[in-house]
Structures are given as C-alpha cells and as structure tokens.
C-alpha cells in the first residue's frame, strides 16, 4: 500500500514537472524584481510554487494555499550558480520556525536541472518553507505559507483601506457649508478635527503593522 502511494505521488510529481518545466520557461517575460514568489539573497534568487492538482490541476500558489491536503512543492533555482551546489528544502510548521516542528525535509543535493521538488501533506496553519544552499557562501531563502487561512494584511490593504478613503472623502465632501469646488477649504476643515481623521488613519496603520510578516532569523 505504501509503495503504491509513493509510486502515485511520484507520477503526480512528474506530471507537475511536465506542466511547469522550470524557471527558464515559466518566468519568461516576467519581472523577477516584483514577482512575489521570488526570494533574493544578494543577487541570487529562487522561485517557489505550490500545487494541489487534486483540486485544481494547473492552479499555482505561492504564499497562500487555499486548501489542506497533499501539496506538491516546486523550487526553481533562478540563479544558475545554485545548480552547482547542494540545495535542500524544509517545511516547518509554526511562526517561530523551530526544528522540532519540521513536517518535511529533503536533504541538500545537487540539482543540475535547476528544479527542486517534493510532496507533503499540509494541515491548516502557518508554515515556513526554508531553502538552503550550501557552499563557500551558504544561502538561505524563506517563504511564509498560509494554508486555508485569511491573509488579514492583504484584506486590509485591498478592501478596508480603500473603503476608509472612500468614507473619508464622502464625509468631507458632504460637510454642511463646505463648497464642493474648493478642495483646499474642505481638506483644511478635515484636519481641524483630528479626533475623526487622525484616529481613522492611526487605526489603519496599526492594522497593517499587526499582520506584517516577520521572517525568523
């Protein structure tokens, strides 16, 4: 039974590798500087994706994985120099990233094709994906994964912040006696009431910093 499951998992990994043949093809025409799935250490970079083909065959995930269960991990060694040194991969559960919480680990080895891949089962929660490159100058890349969780920082940035701006704009424009054509007047009037305006701004800033990611050292 175990042998059958291992063989089935290997076949799915081969399918994933066939669908996504690595950094050279997958990232052609993209800007690695702004790609959220890329991690840099100096001028060296890696690209990470996770797949759950049992739910969506071609869906790719980076830091937010929508469902629990069997997950296939693919790391593209964007820096060609990484193909000449041993590269390992660990999945650690929890925000503190201690060794005792390691749920999967692949020992450092050479990957001349430029792709490191593996499979594991992820439950709901936070995980660190830690990629290490050995050699004269060891390198370490990290990704914080959220499995079946809400990214509150993204929620605040994409929904709450624009909503606050819209409410503020509507509130200021509808103040009695404020001429709609004179922007400087109603902006000045807003800053004369710090209890309403500054309070909302401070709450928005605090909510953003509360959920800011802080990678372990």
Q: How confident is the model at residue 191 (pLDDT cuts 50, 70, 90)?
A: very low
Per-residue pLDDT at 205: 57
Query: In this structure, is residue 217 part of a structural domain?
Result: no
Contacts (Cβ under 8 Å, ≥6 apart) of 101: 92, 93, 94
Do 107 and 204 belong together in one domain?
no
Range picked from 23-37, 72-86, 173-187, 192-206 for highest mean pLDDT: 72-86
Considering the domain architecture, whether residues 73 and 168 belong to the same structural domain is answered as no
Whichever domain contains 44, its CATH number is 2.60.40.1930
Are 47 and 83 in a shared domain?
yes
Residue that wins the pLDDT comparison between 217 and 62: 62
pLDDT (0 to 100) of residue 206: 57
pLDDT at 18 (0 to 100): 47
User: Quick one: pLDDT at residue 25?
Assistant: 44
- Give yes or no: residues 58 and 30 share one domain: yes
**Same domain assignment for residues 16 and 83:** yes
Highest mean pLDDT, choosing among 11-20, 94-103, 116-125, 147-156? 116-125
Count of the separate structural domains present in the chain = 2
pLDDT at 110 over 70: yes
pLDDT attached to residue 201: 55
Asked whether residue 3 carries a pLDDT value surpassing 60, the answer given is no
Please indicate, yes or no, whether residues 28 and 115 belong to a single structural domain of this protein: yes
159 domain residue, yes or no: yes
Same domain, residue pair 168 and 134 = no
Which residue, among 137, 118, 114, 139, has the nearest Cα to 47 in the 3D structure?
A: 114
Q: Is the pLDDT of residue 1 over 60?
A: no
pLDDT band at 147 (very low <50, low <70, confident <90, very high): very high
Instruction: Look at residue 49 and tell me if it is in a domain.
Output: yes
Q: Per the domain annotation, does 216 fall within a domain?
A: no
pLDDT of the residue at 95? 79
User: Do both 167 and 187 map to the same domain?
Assistant: yes
117 and 165 part of one domain: no
d(CA 204, CA 156): 8
Last residue of a domain, one of 147, 171, 195: 147
pLDDT tens for 39-69 read 999 999 999 999 999 999 989 999 999 999 9
Residues 128 and 171 in one domain: no
* Together in a domain, 17 and 107: yes
For residue 31 the two structure tokens come to 């800007």
What per-residue confidence (pLDDT) applies to 199? 58
Which of 27-31, 112-116, 185-189 is predicted least confidently? 185-189
Q: What pLDDT does residue 167 have? A: 74
Question: Quick check: is 89 in a domain?
Answer: yes
Which range of residues forms the domain containing residue 156?
152-210
With cut-offs at 50, 70 and 90, classify the pLDDT of residue 164: confident
Query: Is 26 in the same domain as 95?
Result: yes
């Amino acid at each position: 039974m175990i042998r059958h499951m291992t063989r089935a998992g290997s076949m799915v990994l081969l399918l994933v590798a066939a669908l996504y043949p690595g950094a050279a093809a997958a990232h052609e025409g993209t800007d690695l500087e702004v790609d959220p799935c890329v991690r840099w250490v100096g001028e060296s970079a890696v690209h990470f994706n996770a797949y759950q083909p049992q739910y969506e065959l071609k869906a790719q995930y980076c830091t937010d994985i929508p469902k629990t269960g069997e997950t296939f991990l693919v790391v593209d060694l964007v820096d060609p120099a990484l193909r000449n040194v041993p590269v390992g991969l660990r999945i650690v559960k929890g925000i503190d990233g201690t060794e005792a919480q390691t749920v999967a680990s692949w020992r450092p080895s050479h990957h001349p094709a430029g792709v490191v891949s593996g499979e594991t089962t992820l439950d709901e929660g936070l995980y660190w994906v830690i990629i290490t490159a050995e050699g004269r100058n060891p390198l370490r890349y990290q990704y914080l994964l959220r499995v079946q969780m809400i990214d509150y920082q993204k929620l605040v940035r994409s929904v709450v912040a624009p909503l606050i701006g819209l409410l503020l704009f509507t509130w200021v424009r509808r103040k009695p006696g404020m001429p709609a054509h004179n922007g400087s007047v109603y902006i000045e009037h807003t800053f004369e009431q710090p209890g309403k305006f500054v309070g909302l701004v401070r709450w928005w800033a605090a909510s953003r910093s509360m959920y800011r990611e802080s990678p372990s050292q």
